[in-house]
Amino acid sequence: MSDRKLKNILVTGGCGFIGSNFINYMFGQSATGSREFMDSGFDGRIVNVDCLTYAGNPDNLSGVQKAFGGTRYFFEKADICDRSAIERIFKQYDIDTVIHFAAESHVDRSILGPEAFIKTNIMGTYTLLDVARKFWNVSLDNQRDDVLFHHISTDEVYGSLGETGYFTETTPYDPRSPYSASKASSDHIVMAYYHTYGLPITLSNCTNNYGPYQFPEKLIPLMILNMQEGKNLPVYGEGKNIRDWIYVEDHNRAVWQIVKDGITGQKYNIGGENEWQNIKLLDKLIELTAKEAGLNADDVRKTIVHVKDRPGHDARYAIDCAKIKKELGWERKMTFEEGLTLTVKWYLSHKEWIERVQSGEYLKWIDSNYAGRK
Ligand code: NAD
Ligand code: DAU
């Protein structure tokens, strides 16, 4: 057990995919109704700071807002690069813990326009770290164990694997896309604040998440919705790239476990131990979606189109998560079959959410950048 206060937690990016699932989890509100996940035991306050980009949606937290808004849950619409807003929020809520999810997260967008990634992922992280350091008055001579800055990162910082091997916590960084380079940069700055200024930090690097509330630009929700709408299923290149998939609530339980019990200054890899070639995953997804949506799977398979590959497309990601399992006793709970079925059902039954997120900037962006691909 650590001496961390964990009373007034600043969650950044809490209206996005993983962040909103995290806040729902903390307050016992699973989007998929999977009760076994809802045991966070958290009894403090959460302040959610999100500037609501195309990927942020406060509707994801309507249950939490209704039950805890103004008492244990507070939403602040602010940009993490806005130093004065962040300083005000630290002071107003007496923040003792930061769990930093906010980021530009989509690789394809980073290829088309890296600037937002550099700003939010690097400058935004720097701003939060620096405000935290000053607000908590920490230094190498004045170290504290009652406060914590937890940084959420990705396995993409490690680069691309061949057919064998795994990323461990000591794998050298080798990012390839503007997104992963910006995340790698933020990881290094987080570590620098620990070593140089004594800021108490933990860091986690996770594999590909799936589950409810994921913006339908990412592979799984995009494919489910395209199937439902009778659109083509665009596979980049041959579809042989491999990703390691984890259900979002398994990731979030790991994050909370690290925040509670992780060793200050340490990083933890989080993985699904669940590798799939894109084309094989798509086949599985077609089978499940066709069943749930009453479609003919063979007809759906005919809509697969192999499109131009993503530039610098990383071949394989696979995480060795032995450290968090051994040191913190974390285990994955969701099977891929069950998690994927829950996810398919969720997307097929949340028309209103989908229409809303697709009505704005996302559609404009897809039309201007990817119209020829679909
Ligand atoms: P997301 O794109 O769904 O959500 C990001 C959220 O951050 C949105 O609500 C957005 O409005 C907010 N945001 C963006 N810029 C901001 C800014 N300048 N100020 C305040 N808020 C801002 O992302 P996600 O998939 O939920 O990812 C969350 C975190 O997890 C990211 O740090 C990402 O790098 C990391 N991660 C994601 C995955 C994955 O599979 N999605 C895997 C590993 C790690
Ligand atoms: O590994 C963790 C990372 O996973 C996170 O850090 C990122 O934030 C998250 O976006 C995700 O990155 P990926 O690039 O792996 O996810 P994406 O869903 O975009 O793509 C998954 C794989 O599917 C990848 O190999 C590209 C391929 N793909 C993707 C799309 C959107 C296609 O073949 N067709 C598509 O239309």
pLDDT of residue 195: 98
Q: Where are the alpha helices (DSSP H) in 154-277?
A: 178-197, 219-228, 248-261
Please report which confidence band the pLDDT of residue 370 belongs to, taking 50, 70 and 90 as the band edges.
Answer: low
182: Cβ below 6 Å to ligand 1? Answer: no
361: number of Cβ within 10 Å:
12
206: Cβ below 6 Å to ligand 1? Answer: yes
pLDDT of residue 356: 84
124: Cβ below 6 Å to ligand 1? Answer: yes
Q: Which of 49, 53, 54, 51 is nearest to 23 (CA)?
A: 49
Atom of ligand 1 nearest to the CA of 100: 32
16: Cβ below 6 Å to ligand 1? Answer: yes
Atom of ligand 1 nearest to the CA of 183: 34
Q: What is the mean pLDDT of residues 125-140?
A: 98
Please report which confidence band the pLDDT of residue 30 belongs to, taking 50, 70 and 90 as the band edges.
Answer: confident
State the ligand closest to the CA atom of 16. 1
In a 13 Å sphere around the CA of 286, the CA atoms on its Cβ side amount to: 19
H or E, element range at 347: helix 336-348
Give CA angle at 242 (204, 177), nearest 5°.
60
Please report which confidence band the pLDDT of residue 320 belongs to, taking 50, 70 and 90 as the band edges.
Answer: very high
Whether residue 374 has pLDDT greater than 90: no
Q: How far is the CA of 299 from the centre of ligand 1 (A)?
A: 35
C-alpha 364/C-alpha 311 separation (Å) is 22
Q: What is the pLDDT of residues 207-217, one digit of tens each?
A: 999 999 999 99
Give CA angle at 39 (36, 41), nearest 5°.
175
Whether residue 324 has pLDDT greater than 50: yes
Please report which confidence band the pLDDT of residue 37 belongs to, taking 50, 70 and 90 as the band edges.
Answer: low
Pocket mutation for ligand 2, best pick of 155, 218, 231, 269 (most atoms within 8 Å of C-beta): 218
Is 155 an annotated catalytic residue? yes
C-alpha 155/C-alpha 327 separation (Å) is 19
C-alpha 136/C-alpha 146 separation (Å) is 10
Atom of ligand 2 nearest to the CA of 218: 18
Q: What is the pLDDT of residues 152-207, one digit of tens each?
A: 999 999 999 999 999 999 999 999 999 999 999 999 999 999 999 999 999 999 99
* Contacts for 280 with CB less than 8 Å, ≥ 6 apart: none
Q: What is the pLDDT of residues 48-75, one digit of tens each?
A: 999 999 999 998 999 999 999 999 999 9
Q: Which of 156, 140, 138, 163 is nearest to 148 (CA)?
A: 138
Pocket mutation for ligand 2, best pick of 104, 107, 246 (most atoms within 8 Å of C-beta): 107
Whether residue 33 has pLDDT greater than 80: no
Contact 143, 198 (CB under 8 A): yes
Q: How far is the CA of 107 from the centre of ligand 2 (A)?
A: 7
Q: What is the pLDDT of residues 260-308, one digit of tens each?
A: 999 999 999 999 999 999 999 999 999 999 999 999 999 999 999 999 9
Q: Can you spell out the DSSP letters for 11-77?
A: EESTTSHHHHHHHHHHTT--TT--GGG------SEEEEEE---TT--GGGGHHHHHHHBTTTEEEEE
Query: How far is the CA of 126 from the CAs of 130, 200, 293, 324, in angstroms?
Result: 6, 15, 45, 26
Q: List b or e across 9-36, with b for residues whose CB sees 16 or more CB atoms inside 10 angstroms.
A: bbbbbbbbbbbbbbbbbbbbbbbbebee
The values of phi and psi at residue 78, to 5°, are -155, 155
Q: What is the pLDDT of residues 91-111, one digit of tens each?
A: 999 999 999 999 999 999 999
234: Cβ below 6 Å to ligand 1? Answer: no
Is 367 an annotated catalytic residue? no
pLDDT of residue 149: 98
Query: How far is the CA of 372 from the CAs of 222, 234, 300, in angstroms?
Result: 16, 11, 20
Taking all residues of the chain, what is their mean pLDDT, rounded to a whole number? Answer: 94
Ranking 21-35, 236-250, 290-304, 331-345 by mean pLDDT, the lowest is: 21-35
CB under 8 A, 24+ apart: contacts of 66-69: 67/27, 67/29, 68/27
If you classify domain 8-214+247-273+313-334+352-369 with CATH, what class do you get? alpha beta
Please report which confidence band the pLDDT of residue 7 belongs to, taking 50, 70 and 90 as the band edges.
Answer: very high
Q: What is the pLDDT of residues 209-253, one digit of tens each?
A: 999 999 999 999 999 999 999 999 999 999 999 999 999 999 999
pLDDT of residue 368: 64
Catalytic residue chosen out of the listed positions 79, 104, 155, 169: 155
Catalytic residue chosen out of the listed positions 76, 79, 156, 187: 156
103: Cβ below 6 Å to ligand 1? Answer: yes
pTM: 0.97
State the ligand closest to the CA atom of 17. 1
* Contacts for 235 with CB less than 8 Å, ≥ 6 apart: 278, 279, 282, 304, 305, 306, 307
Please report which confidence band the pLDDT of residue 372 belongs to, taking 50, 70 and 90 as the band edges.
Answer: very low
Q: Where do the structural domains in the chain lie, given as residue ranges? A: 8-214+247-273+313-334+352-369
353: number of Cβ within 10 Å:
17
pLDDT of residue 36: 61
Query: Which residue shows structure tokens 């807003």?
Result: 85
Is 179 an annotated catalytic residue? yes
C-alpha 67/C-alpha 61 separation (Å) is 10
pLDDT of residue 250: 95
**With the CA atoms of 312, 230, 218 and 86 taken in that order, what torsion angle do they form, in degrees rounded to the nearest 10?**
130
183: Cβ below 6 Å to ligand 1? Answer: yes
pLDDT of residue 34: 62
Catalytic residue chosen out of the listed positions 25, 158, 179, 213: 179
Contact 93, 10 (CB under 8 A): yes
DSSP designation for 139: B
